[in-house]
Amino acid sequence: MSIKKLKGWALATAAGAATMFASAAHAVEIEYWQYFFDARVTAMEKLIANFEASNPDITVKMTTFPYADYRTKVAAAIPAGEGPDVVQLFYGWLNDYVEAQLIQPLPADVFAPAQIEADFFPMVQAMRAGDNYWALPTAVRSLSLFYNERLFEEAGITEPPKTLDEMVAAAKKLTKRDGAGNLTQVGITAGMNAQDHHWFREVLVRQFGGDPYLDDYKTVNYNSDAGRKALDFYTGLVKKDEVTAFGFMDEPQAAFKAGRAGMHIDGSFRIGSLKKTRGLKWGVTELPAGPDGTRSNYSSYWVNAITTKAEGEKYDAAVKFMQYVTSDEAMQIWLDVVGELPAKPSVGMTDANANDPVFGPFIRGLAYAHTTKFVNESAQRQVLMDMVQRVDIQGQSVADSLTEAAAAEQKLLDDYYASN
């Protein structure tokens, strides 16, 4: 921030504070809730300060809760007329919140659907129901391939892999075993418990020519030729190419942090903790392209929405606040403070952001990312974990295990949509 800007900002804040005191009697206070995560709280404090400076008649009070209690608290507070006017929620929860009438649609005159679809990255369209958007993100996350630069150098690999074939070839060079044949370093980490289940669903299945779901994610469709090829490739990393082991060093990210893994697929939220890991030199590249050059990615995000509690002048204030937290300025602040990616190409695709060595690959991935509409993410993840374990531990065939998994996941979806 330049001195001039800083001065202007300070002036604005001071002026804002002055008018706030002057018009204290007319001040509207709205409440904002999110779960507690240090960087997100800092970023939101900054956004609130900026917002209050330009809207002196509105004050925003932020309350945070531990992640584990969050949903319960929100559910208990809003029907009682307490709690937030603007609330943060995971995109996968939207349906439940709409059904329970905890949130209200964003006004179409301010948040015109056509405009949103032109401004935001395409996966945000999952937040539209009927003629309205119900919630919008400030920031989004996507996946990339992290690689260990030291290990790459040691193995004589000059550039990060661009395709799955190149990735497997590199992984073979990076794998190390001890005298007894036990793995001591893996080429690439593997484990459905981490981000690999997203990689499988939205990336590998598509790259082998399939479409993982049909009917707006209500029908499982990966029990196909493409799905079998994808699972064959994935379990083949362990069984055929022998470049990794499931559960190596307990957790994929632990193996990568310890410098015992050449490559690792993870989300943009991992950047912060990797930056803090001493002695680890790492780079990021886009997820490798499939055999026919298809690229895909998975994106998830937290959104903000206006609750049904907000009425009258609080509602107007909440709309203004929503406008600000989805503005370009807010997104840049969020990227700088939290490291989460902007939800609009106008901010993400600036030269500085899209070519950033760390954020760039993630942001470029957003252009072709998909967002799975989960009904119960942890249960659906469990299905894929079990699928791989049946192949890995029990020696079931890839085709049978895939069929079983598809049936199990379809049952979860059917049960959910039958009762909602």
Partner 1 sequence: MYNNLSIRQKQIVWAWAFLAIPVLFYVVIRFYPTANAILISFQNWNLLGSRTWAGAENYIKLFNDPVFWQVFRNTFVYLLLGTPISLVISFIIAYHLDQLRFMHGFLRMLYFLPFMTSAVAMAWVWRWFYQPVPIGLFNNFLASVGIPQVEFLRSTTNALPSVLAPAVWAGLGFQIIIFMAGLRAIPRSYYEAARIDGVSTWTVLWEITLPLLKPTIVFIVVFSSIGFLRIFDHVFNMTTNDPGGPLNSTEPLVLMIYDTAFNGFDMGYAAAQTVVLFVVLLLVSLLQLRILRDR
Catalog residues that contact partner 1 under the rule CB under 8 A: 68, 71-72, 75, 96-97, 99-102, 178, 180, 182-184, 191, 193, 245-251, 260, 376, 378-379, 382, 385-386, 389-390, 393-394, 419
Identify which of residues 68 and 80 has a Cβ nearer to partner 1 in the complex: 68
Identify which of residues 267 and 345 has a Cβ nearer to partner 1 in the complex: 267
- List Cβ neighbours of 243 (8 Å cut-off, separation of 6 or more): 168, 171, 172, 174, 175, 186, 187, 188, 237
Cβ at position 250, least distance to partner 1 in Å: 6
Residue 96 C-beta-side C-alpha neighbours within 13 Å: 14
Identify which of residues 47 and 263 has a Cβ nearer to partner 1 in the complex: 263
Identify which of residues 158 and 394 has a Cβ nearer to partner 1 in the complex: 394
Token representation of residue 27: 């001040």
Q: Give yes or no for a contact between 358 and 284, defined as CB atoms under 8 angstroms apart.
A: yes
Torsion of CA 295, 197, 372, 284, to 10 degrees: -40
| DSSP-assigned letters across all residues of 363-404 | HHHHTTEE----SSHHHHHHHHHHHHHHHHTS---HHHHHHH
Cβ at position 5, least distance to partner 1 in Å: 43
Cβ at position 97, least distance to partner 1 in Å: 7
Cβ at position 96, least distance to partner 1 in Å: 5
Cβ at position 280, least distance to partner 1 in Å: 17
Three-state secondary-structure class, residue 310: coil
- Burial class of residue 114, CB neighbours in 10 A (0-12, 13-18, 19+): exposed
Cβ at position 317, least distance to partner 1 in Å: 25
Cβ at position 290, least distance to partner 1 in Å: 27
Exposure string for 25-50, b = 16+ CB within 10 A, e = fewer: eeebebbbbbbebeebbebbeebbeb
Cβ at position 376, least distance to partner 1 in Å: 5
Identify which of residues 109 and 250 has a Cβ nearer to partner 1 in the complex: 250
Cβ at position 323, least distance to partner 1 in Å: 26
Q: Could you tell me which residues are beta bridge partners of residue 183?
A: 177
Cβ at position 140, least distance to partner 1 in Å: 23
Identify which of residues 195 and 224 has a Cβ nearer to partner 1 in the complex: 195
Token representation of residue 182: 């036990």
How far is 84 from 243, CA to CA, in rounded Å? 49
How far is 407 from 401, CA to CA, in rounded Å? 10
- List Cβ neighbours of 241 (8 Å cut-off, separation of 6 or more): 168, 171, 172, 187
Identify which of residues 75 and 349 has a Cβ nearer to partner 1 in the complex: 75
Three-state secondary-structure class, residue 47: helix
Three-state secondary-structure class, residue 77: helix
Identify which of residues 3 and 180 has a Cβ nearer to partner 1 in the complex: 180
How far is 183 from 172, CA to CA, in rounded Å? 12
Identify which of residues 41 and 100 has a Cβ nearer to partner 1 in the complex: 100
Identify which of residues 249 and 265 has a Cβ nearer to partner 1 in the complex: 249
